[in-house]
């Protein structure tokens, strides 16, 4: 198969996580930049990336990149690209454009220029004057940054955070891709108890269970490129079969998920059932102040209420006070807390977080505070 440059887009702050996922699939990363990772793959790589990437937002095929000092340059260089390799005569394609710090400032004008260039190219190649556009969807994305244009086609369709298991939701849910990244950024593994004491609709718990059970996140949904003629259906069948065979149903996974909101816990339970991981998670209605862990080396990963999600600052402070007590009493406990509330670090003083990472939950800037507990002892060879 021919080599293709793919771009996995990512939320700011998660580039290193997505890069590691791509490398673990066996693909060579060419560049890692703000919010995107460019790597070399093939047609199978498009399928595998969509099915298996947990923390990326989308997978794009890079068609071309060039300087565009004028609108004519944008037209001519777009027309010179091999669009017929991807878009068939009945392809239903749209063009989206963003332009930043460039001479070409009008996004609608750039969209029209690119659309016309692609139509002219396809008209010449297929010897057709008009196109029915009744076939599969193709979304062409044009990004112009400092007079340099990157043209791609979106292979994902709906964003990769839409796994298909979220049948019930609550106010201010955390994105599935971000939740998966929080799990991967922690030191949690199947030998340790995982606790999400602010579970909401259960996203962190569900993503953790899917990750540890090795359930590919894209198995429950469809992608735009599934209907493309240029990607054989056999590849989708083979990759889905391989993903199903890779699921580890025998691994024992212990996750406790709780919330003060009874409706949220009910929604979380339904989502876990839809994801097929309800046997990995124990749900309960419980305020954080009444949480008792009862075993060493547990890991908390949580998204406590903040902003409009809680109006009573006293309740939020009580959560921090309780967390501070737990970390002080149990030196083996690890806590990973994502929040937009800046008072957490002050409330947990003098304990400093071992690491901070700026992340975005949608458009909300948050900080991921990481408090490391003592590591569990290594198992001796006789216990293996």
Question: Which residue in 211, 368, 379 sits closest to 300, CA to CA?
Answer: 368
Residues in CB range of 165: below 8 A, 6 or more apart: 206, 220, 271, 274, 275
Nearest to 299, CA basis, from 186, 213, 378: 186
Do the beta carbons of residue 263 and residue 169 sit within 8 Å? no
For 281: left if phi > 0, alpha if psi spans -120 to 50, otherwise beta; the answer is beta
CA distance 113 to 18: 33
Strands, sheet with 194-196, edge to edge from the N-terminal-most edge strand: 281-285, 255-259, 194-196, 299-302, 334-339, 364-371, 355-361
- Cα 135 to Cα 180: distance, rounded to the nearest angstrom: 34
Q: Supply the pLDDT for residue 342.
A: 86
Q: Please report where in the chains the tokens 């409330």 appear, as a residue.
A: 347
The two structure tokens encoding residue 384: 């293996």
H or E element in which residue 90 lies: none
Residue 166: the pLDDT is 93
Q: At what angle do helices 107-126 and 71-79 cross, to 10 degrees?
A: 30
CA distance 35 to 328: 37
Q: How far apart are CA 380 and CA 384, in angstroms?
A: 7
Radius of gyration of the chain measured on its C-alpha atoms: 23
Q: What is the pLDDT of residue 289?
A: 92
Question: For 228, which DSSP code?
Answer: -
Per-residue b/e over 35-56, b at no fewer than 16 CB within 10 Å? bbbbbebebbbbbbbbbbbbbb
Closest CA relative to residue 68, chosen from 148, 145, 142, 141: 148
Query: Hey, what are 336's tokens?
Result: 């990973």
Instruction: Give pLDDT, residue 133.
Output: 85
Whether the CB-CB separation of 23 and 49 falls below 8 Å is answered with no
- pLDDT at 112 (0 to 100): 97
Distance CA 340, CA 334 (A): 20
Q: Please give the pLDDT value at position 177.
A: 97
- Tens-digit pLDDT profile for the chain (384 aa)? 579 999 999 999 999 999 999 999 999 999 999 999 999 999 999 999 999 999 999 999 999 999 999 999 999 999 999 999 999 999 999 999 999 999 999 999 999 999 999 999 999 999 998 889 899 999 999 999 999 999 999 999 999 999 999 998 887 689 999 999 999 999 999 999 999 999 999 999 999 999 999 999 999 999 999 999 999 999 999 999 999 999 999 999 999 999 999 999 999 999 999 999 999 999 999 999 999 998 999 999 999 986 544 456 778 888 999 999 999 999 999 999 999 988 899 999 899 999 999 999 888 899 999 999 999 998 653 344
């Amino acid at each position: 198969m021919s080599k293709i440059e793919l771009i996995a887009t990512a939320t700011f702050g998660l580039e290193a996580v997505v890069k590691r996922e791509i490398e673990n699939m066996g693909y060579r990363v060419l560049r890692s930049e703000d919010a995107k990772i460019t790597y070399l793959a093939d047609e199978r790589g498009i399928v595998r990336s969509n099915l298996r990437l947990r923390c990326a937002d989308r997978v794009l095929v890079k068609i071309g990149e060039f300087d565009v000092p004028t609108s004519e340059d944008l037209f001519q260089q777009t027309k010179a690209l091999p669009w017929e390799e991807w878009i068939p005569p009945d392809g239903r394609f749209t063009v989206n454009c963003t332009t930043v710090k460039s001479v070409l400032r009008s996004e609608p004008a750039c969209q029209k220029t690119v659309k016309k260039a692609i139509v002219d190219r396809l008209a010449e190649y297929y010897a057709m004057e008009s196109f029915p556009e009744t076939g599969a969807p193709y979304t062409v994305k044009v990004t112009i940054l400092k007079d340099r244009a990157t043209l791609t086609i979106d292979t994902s369709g709906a964003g990769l955070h839409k796994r298909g298991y979220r049948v019930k939701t609550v106010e201010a849910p955390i994105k599935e891709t971000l939740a998966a990244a929080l799990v991967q950024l922690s030191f949690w593994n199947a030998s340790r108890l995982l606790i999400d004491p602010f579970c909401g609709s259960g996203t962190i718990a569900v993503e953790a269970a899917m990750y540890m059970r090795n359930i590919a996140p894209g198995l429950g949904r469809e992608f735009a490129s599934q209907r493309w003629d240029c990607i054989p259906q056999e590849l989708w069948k083979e990759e889905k079969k391989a993903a199903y065979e890779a699921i580890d149903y025998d691994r024992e996974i212990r996750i406790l998920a709780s919330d003060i909101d009874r409706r949220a816990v009910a929604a979380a339970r339904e989502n876990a059932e839809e994801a097929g991981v309800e046997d990995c998670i124990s749900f309960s209605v419980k305020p954080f102040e009444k949480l008792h862990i009862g075993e060493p080396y547990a890991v908390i990963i949580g998204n406590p209420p903040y902003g409009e999600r809680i109006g009573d600052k006293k309740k939020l402070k009580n959560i921090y006070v309780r967390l501070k007590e737990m970390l002080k009493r149990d030196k083996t406990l690890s806590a990973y807390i994502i929040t937009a509330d800046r008072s957490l670090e002050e409330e947990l003083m003098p304990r400093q977080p071992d690491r901070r990472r700026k992340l975005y939950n949608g458009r909300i800037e948050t900080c991921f505070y990481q408090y490391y507990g003592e590591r569990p002892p290594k198992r001796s060879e006789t216990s293996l």
